[in-house]
């Protein structure tokens, strides 16, 4: 025994204790949260990680299968490198600084343990100079102290080592679903978390596919007592409409005992300087209202919790600095906040991009534009400066909207700045009916020269 040996052993012990402590801290957070709103996050983490495994020039395909007591997440991305699987086991990120990835098995993967504290991973190992080898391991996070966590890590490592004894895959098919994450849903809450995450994805999937170019399709399969239902979303090609405004078609194919049907979703977007703003439209109804469960801020994937973010359309940028729970972005007035400064600069660019987006769509005479000008009502938020948001978002957007001829009247389309145009806010149906009655009476008294009234709200401040 010498000092070097003692030092090396001490370093290894401290490292292992650090890993176990961090895992326990994250598991405690999961166990102590009863809010099922957190259940919306696990599927985004798995999708994010699957995106990072896409082959160059080939989008990854994803399938999520839900049974009564089991959930399986499959993708056809690259096989695991040894450091990738070890990053899951030890709960550290394997992302290299020069890799263009979003997640790569950092602490975000811990949110998937809401489904089950034991996850089974079946996949393939492939390191440079070594053959393709299948492997299967279980990661057990049920431990209540550091010793139990370390013992479960040791057991997983032993299972992983057995890959050396597995038969080499000589005919490896890169397009097949080689990677599978299996969660056994042993409790009712686990089953509820699984269904919540999958159902929530139906609300955001159109934007996920639009912003995440490395995901080509996502299929959701529900196996139940009444039979099997499958819903597959597949991204189509991009097409420029005019002046940089583009359209992407996303196909939704539903199969069940009642047969099969296919739906076309049209996504319109404008992109510049790392920012993308987007809205969904229907071929007949025009632009659609943003669903309440869709966050208005994306960083490749939705920032769950940003559903009431004060912006009229969906906004995406990899340059945003999200907060730690990835539920929003900081727009505080603290001069020492680098994150807030960067986010504010991006939001000012986003307003300019929105101006171009809206103006072009008005010129193209699209319908449903009222859904592209409505902003959520301001709610106090400790991560956003009220004065800054009202000046740079609400008022800035209103200035843009007020100049566009979007309001149909008897004398043609007018804008809010037109002489004699009034914007009236009515909260209740009774108030709205009163406004309409007043407008009709005013027009009847004054004839063609009567004042124009618009009931509703665009930007409430």
Residue 104 confidence (pLDDT)? 38
Q: Let me know how long the chain is.
A: 461
pLDDT (tens digit, 9 = 90+) per residue, 301-353? 999 999 999 999 999 999 999 998 889 999 999 999 999 999 999 999 999 99
Residue that has been written with the tokens 């449903």 in this structure? 368
Q: Is the pLDDT of residue 50 over 90?
A: yes
Residue 83, C-beta contacts closer than 8 angstroms, at least 6 positions apart:
94
Between residues 112 and 13, which one has the greater pLDDT?
Answer: 112
Cα separation of 172 and 188, whole Å? 38
Q: What are phi and psi of 161, to 5 degrees?
A: -60, -25
Cα separation of 64 and 183, whole Å? 11
Among 31-45, 63-77, 233-247, 396-410, whose mean pLDDT is lowest?
31-45
Residue 91 confidence (pLDDT)? 78
Cα separation of 52 and 329, whole Å? 23
Tell me the whole-structure pTM to 2 decimals. Answer: 0.87
pLDDT (tens digit, 9 = 90+) per residue, 387-435? 999 999 999 999 999 999 988 777 788 888 887 777 777 778 888 777 7
Question: For 248-264, what is the mean pLDDT?
Answer: 93
Residue 90 confidence (pLDDT)? 85
pLDDT (tens digit, 9 = 90+) per residue, 132-156? 999 999 999 999 999 999 889 889 9
Among 125-134, 184-193, 255-264, 416-425, whose mean pLDDT is lowest?
416-425
pLDDT (tens digit, 9 = 90+) per residue, 55-66? 998 999 999 999
Residue 406 confidence (pLDDT)? 86
Q: What are phi and psi of 299, to 5 degrees?
A: -120, 70
pLDDT > 70: percent of the chain: 86
Residue 98 confidence (pLDDT)? 46
Residue 30 has, within 13 A of its CA and on its CB side, a CA count of 25
Comparing CA positions, the residue from 459, 394, 374, 455 lying closest to residue 421 is 455
Any idea what DSSP says for residue 222? E
Specify which of 19-23, 97-101, 194-198 reaches the highest per-range mean pLDDT.
194-198
Residue 246 confidence (pLDDT)? 97
Residue 221 confidence (pLDDT)? 97
Please provide the average confidence, as pLDDT, over all residues in the chain. Answer: 87
Residue 413 has, within 13 A of its CA and on its CB side, a CA count of 11
Give residue 451's region: left, alpha or beta (phi > 0; psi -120 to 50). Answer: beta
Give 212: exposed, middle or buried? Use CB within 10 Å, 0-12, 13-18, 19+: buried
Question: For 356-360, what is the mean pLDDT?
Answer: 97
pLDDT (tens digit, 9 = 90+) per residue, 93-144? 655 544 444 433 356 788 899 999 999 999 999 999 989 999 999 999 999 9
Q: DSSP per residue over 11-45, as a string?
A: HHHHHHHHHHHHHHHHHHHHHT---GGGGGTHHHH
Residue 449 confidence (pLDDT)? 37
Contact between 291 and 376 (Cβ < 8 Å)? no
Among 210-214, 223-227, 241-245, whose mean pLDDT is lowest?
223-227
* Cα 267 to Cα 46, 280, 295, 318, distances in angstroms: 24, 5, 16, 19
Q: How confident is the model at residue 14 (pLDDT cuts 50, 70, 90)?
A: low
């Amino acid at each position: 025994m010498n000092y070097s040996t003692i030092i090396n052993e001490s370093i290894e012990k401290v490292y292992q204790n650090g890993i176990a402590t961090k895992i326990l801290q994250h598991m405690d957070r999961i166990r102590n949260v009863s809010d099922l709103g957190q259940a919306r996050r696990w599927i985004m983490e798995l999708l994010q990680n699957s995106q990072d495994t896409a082959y160059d020039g080939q989008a990854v395909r994803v399938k999520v299968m839900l049974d009564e007591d089991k959930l399986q997440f499959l993708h056809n991305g690259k096989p695991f490198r040894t450091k990738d699987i070890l990053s899951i086991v030890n709960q550290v990120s394997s992302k290299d600084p020069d890799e263009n990835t979003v997640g790569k098995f950092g602490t975000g993967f811990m949110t998937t343990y809401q489904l089950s504290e034991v996850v089974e991973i079946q996949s393939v190992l492939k390191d440079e100079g070594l053959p393709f080898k299948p492997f299967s391991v279980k990661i057990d996070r049920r431990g209540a102290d550091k010793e139990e966590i370390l013992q479960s890590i040791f057991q997983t490592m032993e299972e992983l080592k057995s890959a050396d004894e597995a038969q080499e895959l000589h005919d490896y098919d890169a397009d097949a679903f080689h990677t599978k994450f299996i969660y056994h849903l042993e409790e009712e809450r686990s089953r509820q978390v699984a269904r919540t995450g999958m159902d929530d994805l139906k609300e955001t999937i159109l934007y996920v596919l639009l912003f995440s170019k490395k995901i080509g399709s996502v299929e959701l399969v529900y196996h139940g007592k009444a039979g099997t239902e499958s819903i597959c979303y597949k991204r189509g090609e991009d097409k420029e409409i005019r002046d940089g405004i583009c359209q992407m078609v996303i196909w939704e194919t539903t199969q069940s005992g009642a047969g099969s049907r296919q739906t076309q979703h049209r996504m319109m977007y404008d992109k510049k300087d790392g920012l993308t703003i987007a809205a969904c439209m229907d071929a007949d109804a025009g632009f659609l209202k943003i669903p309440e469960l869709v966050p208005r801020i994306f960083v490749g994937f939705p920032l769950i919790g940003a559903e009431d973010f004060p912006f009229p359309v969906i906004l995406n940028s990899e340059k945003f600095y999200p907060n730690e729970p990835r539920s929003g972005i900081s727009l505080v007035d603290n001069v020492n906040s680098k994150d807030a400064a960067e986010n504010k600069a991006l939001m000012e660019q986003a307003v300019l991009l929105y101006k171009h987006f809206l103006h072009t769509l008005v010129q193209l005479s699209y319908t449903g534009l009222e859904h592209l000008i409505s902003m959520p009502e301001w709610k106090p938020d400790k991560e956003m400066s009220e004065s800054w948001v009202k000046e740079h978002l609400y008022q800035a957007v209103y200035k843009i909207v007020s100049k566009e001829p979007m309001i149909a009247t008897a004398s043609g389309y007018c804008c809010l700045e037109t002489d004699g145009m009034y914007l009236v806010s009515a909260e209740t149906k009774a108030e709205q009916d009163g406004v309409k009655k007043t407008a009709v009476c005013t027009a009847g008294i004054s004839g063609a020269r009567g004042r124009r009234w618009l009931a509703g709200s665009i930007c409430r401040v």
